[in-house]
Structure 1
């Protein structure tokens, strides 16, 4: 059922919503339910026309969403893909259905916090005429929804394109997906997510967007970002990903917004953080051999050519000692 289509003839629905919450789903029915309910439950009743929900389902079997949307009086659209599209194409299919002025891409293993939608709508209503991209904070949670830590911008305000790119290209986790909201018209300017960049396609997308518009940061958490063993990112710590990331940094150089010296330092810090983060994910699970393989990415010629990251040097030494000890105890 397509509620938006059913209501299209009513004058009430001639106005586009302020926000489209796009949820690309894939074989996580419980996660999808949590994501949808986090929007439905929290939306202020007096503003049902400000938010629409778009679900594109790449799962093997369709999901019954009518019960999840019981009581929802806003627009919504559900599409089950007859043939699996794949990760990036499903993201883009969801975005293509959106009609809101702004877009939030909410994966089916993440969800909005109780005051998240209210905070987003208040911010967009106040600053949406001035800025095109907004970055909020997130709670990093485990699969049982226990908060592990918080990642929240330090200040509220606009980062110009050079400032935004320095942050994006220096910190490998600067942007968490459910924390970012952008104007839908940006898709016409920069394009959709590019499948040629695989698992790093989000970084390439943010690079193109930030280079044009910068980003407005808001030091308030609006969403939960789930970290779990089955996350796709667990399998991206290898040399091929570093090669793809290198292509993104080359694209950043072509923009001529940051100097080559700045970009090299950013890339050095980014690669070190990325590799050490992957090492830590396996270390904390006691998977010493996998941790060792990820850590050894630091010895690749393209990484060594960037120099040593003073920002991450102490942690690099710590992990080296930990791995040396662990491989002898196993």
Structure 2
């Protein structure tokens, strides 16, 4: 389905027992300055006041579905996708919300492109602002300044280098293409959205819209929060890298992207292991880290890269390290003022 000036956009909200947040999410959707939208709300057997709240909504753009049987997270996402008929599809978690001009900025950006540039754009994404449970800003990690549509391999390279900050709430998927790959995969519960997005982009393009802002909420009850071990996360990250690159047409980029992908997985494993070492039995967790690291990356890599980086991050994360980083930031700010 080709993009048009006034294309229909589907916005879906899967929800479960978060009525207070759901109100804010829906308010941010229905107050969008771009009005040609359909809204799908999938109530996953909530036991709070969610049903009563949703039954009061009279906006004709909103379709509400109440489930009598509990769905998994990914099943609920795919149910939302199955009910969507827009050119692009946005899945907004019930605890996230959008800037009022988010969709307008995305549509304006794609409409400014030449006809040939619009072809094969499978994903449009904006900047993400991370907020706490009260909606107060924690931080905003901006993306690199990308002014043109990117090919899939270019995006993947940036993502593996962690120069592309993308969340579900900041992403418009081309609906028919997302359906064509089977929607969201349940093979990786740690990052089902990342797998689907990257599979879409392998042989397509992405468009970054810096003025499109969305708000990603961090709190303890996130289903995909810290329920998985560092070892499981590493296994899934490596599986994701292998799966994505196995589908890529451009063979000349695969060795380079594989190296970047392994480096990405390695860094994430070090960070998640550090969390465990700091919060639990540090000697036992350090031993587990060493054993897994050697099995995957080798003993030489452990002593040359793994343990030194783990030690450095441990130092920087303690009180003196945080103070040192604060001094460095202040010096940088003074020089740039």
Give the C-alpha shift of residue 76 in structure 1. 1.5
Does the Cα contact within 8 Å between 2:41 and 2:65 map onto a contact in 1? Answer: yes
Alpha carbons of structure 1 residues 294 and 194: separation in structure 2 relative to 1, 3 Å: farther
SS of residue matched to 1:319: helix
Question: What residue in structure 1 maps to residue 266 of structure 2?
Answer: 272
User: Root-mean-square deviation (CA), in Å?
Assistant: 3.5
Q: Which residue of 1 aligns with 2:297?
A: 304
1:164-179 pair list within 5 angstroms: 164-171=155-162, 174-179=165-170
1:101 aligns with 2:87: yes
Quick one: distance in 2 between partners of 1:312 and 1:117?
Answer: 42
2:232 matched to which residue of 1?
240
Query: How much has 1:211 moved relative to structure 2?
Result: 0.4
TM-score in terms of structure 1 length: 0.78
Change (3 A) 1:173 1:29: farther
Q: How does 1:1-330 map to 2 (within 5 A)?
A: 18-41=8-31, 43-44=32-33, 48=35, 50-61=36-47, 63-66=51-54, 69=57, 72=59, 74-127=60-113, 130=118, 131-155=121-145, 156-171=147-162, 174-231=165-222, 232-256=224-248, 257=250, 259-278=253-272, 287-289=279-281, 293=285, 297=289, 299-300=291-292, 301-305=294-298, 307=301, 316-321=310-315
Q: Which residue of 1 aligns with 2:327?
A: none
CA contact (8 A) 2:90 2:171 kept: yes
2: CA distance, partners of 1:174 / 1:133:
13
Unaligned runs of 5+ in 2: 1-5, 321-337
Q: How far off its partner does 1:239 sit? A: 1.7
Change (3 A) 1:119 1:296: farther
Gaps of 5+ in 1: 1-15
Contact 1:138-1:222 at 8 Å conserved across structures: yes
**Count of residues in Structure 1 that have an aligned counterpart in Structure 2:** 303
Deviation track 1:39-62 (CA, whole Å, cap 9, x = no partner) reads 112x23xx54x1111111113335
C-alpha offsets along residues 219-259 of structure 1, whole Å, 9 cap, x if unaligned?
Answer: 22421011122222211343223222222222233234364
Partner SS state of residue 245, structure 1 = helix
Q: Is the contact between residue 20 and residue 104 of structure 1 (CA under 8 Å) also seen in structure 2?
A: yes
Distance 1:113 1:312 in 2: 40
